[in-house]
Amino acid sequence: MCVCQCFSGDLTGRLLAYISLLPIAILVGFVTLIVFKRELHTISFFGGILLNEGLNWLLKHILREPRPCAGAHTTLHTEYGMPSSHSQLIWFFVVYFFLFLYLRMHQTNNARCVDLLWRHILSIFLLAVAFSVSYSRVYLLYHTWSQVFYGGVAGSTMAIIWFFFTQEMLTPLFPKIAAWPVSEYFLVRDTSLIPNILWFEYTVTRSEARNRQRKLGTKLQ
């Protein structure tokens, strides 16, 4: 029989409780990006996350391993804890992002030192986030170490499989998908051939703003 702790006066527990909400923030962020950007790779990334969640649900109901404090938490969607869904989701996101940074954004030969540095800093930050979310699930007694570990293994494996499936199978189809009438109607776009979308959008927006400013100035004369 396990003794469940009360974290109302535990500052560490409260901090980790907020950190454990990061997977939900990631899902909300993806929905926001899809609504406003409508980019095919982002949609594919989100599709992988949904498949990863489906796999987690399936594994939980196959293994049926209980949580360390069964019945202690009243806000659970399932009583099973193997593997941890939080750990599986955050490690899917982090590993996929690693692969995207270092393989998809492949034009490193022309990159400046500052560009490479921010990739390394972002990678370290994401690793820290993944470990923090995983540790929070154990500290808050939602999962055991083994449940968190195997959740991370499952999420990382799914991320690797889905990344290479997206690269090799889906990405060549993106131009055709973007040309579909329904895609054009909803302004769905393919930016897979643009290595640095932030820089591209910045330069295009700045150029368009200058052209419009020049035309506006001509009309006012």
- pLDDT digits (tens), the chain, 221 positions: 343 444 556 788 788 888 888 889 999 999 998 999 889 999 999 999 999 999 999 999 888 888 887 555 556 666 777 899 999 999 999 999 989 888 877 554 455 676 677 888 888 999 999 999 999 888 888 888 999 999 999 999 999 999 999 999 998 999 999 999 998 889 888 888 776 677 777 788 888 888 888 777 666 55
* Same-domain pairing of 145 and 221: no
* Same-domain pairing of 169 and 211: no
* Same-domain pairing of 162 and 215: no
Q: Which domain holds residue 220?
A: 196-221
Within its chain, how far is the Cα of 17 from the centroid?
19
Write b or e for each residue in 190-202: b if 16 or more Cβ atoms lie within 10 A of its Cβ, otherwise e.
bbbeeeeeeeeee
Contacts for 111 with CB less than 8 Å, ≥ 6 apart: none
Q: Contact 72/4 with Cβ under 8 angstroms?
A: yes
* Same-domain pairing of 214 and 135: no
pLDDT score recorded for residue 150:
92
pLDDT score recorded for residue 49:
95
Q: Closest Cα partner for 89 from 20, 139, 143, 164?
A: 20
pTM (predicted TM-score): 0.82
pLDDT score recorded for residue 3:
39
Assess if residue 101 is contained within a domain.
yes
* Same-domain pairing of 41 and 116: yes
DSSP per residue, 128-192: HHHHHHHHHHHHTTSS-HHHHHHHHHHHHHHHHHHHHHIIIIIGGGHHHHHTSHHHHHTT-B--T
* Same-domain pairing of 185 and 201: no
**Rounded Cα–Cα distance for residues 192 and 174 (Å):** 8
DSSP per residue, 13-75: HHHHHHHTTHHHHHHHHHHHHHHHH-BHHHHHHHHHHHHHHHHHHHHHHHH-PBPTTTTT-SS
Assess if residue 4 is contained within a domain.
no
Q: Is 132 exposed, middle or buried (0-12, 13-18, 19+ CB in 10 A)?
A: middle
Integer angstrom CA distances of residue 82 from 49, 72, 85, 139, 164:
18, 17, 8, 16, 26
pLDDT score recorded for residue 102:
81
Number of domains in the chain: 2
Q: Contact 158/47 with Cβ under 8 angstroms?
A: no
pLDDT score recorded for residue 219:
62
* Same-domain pairing of 137 and 206: no
- Tell me which H or E stretch contains 78: none
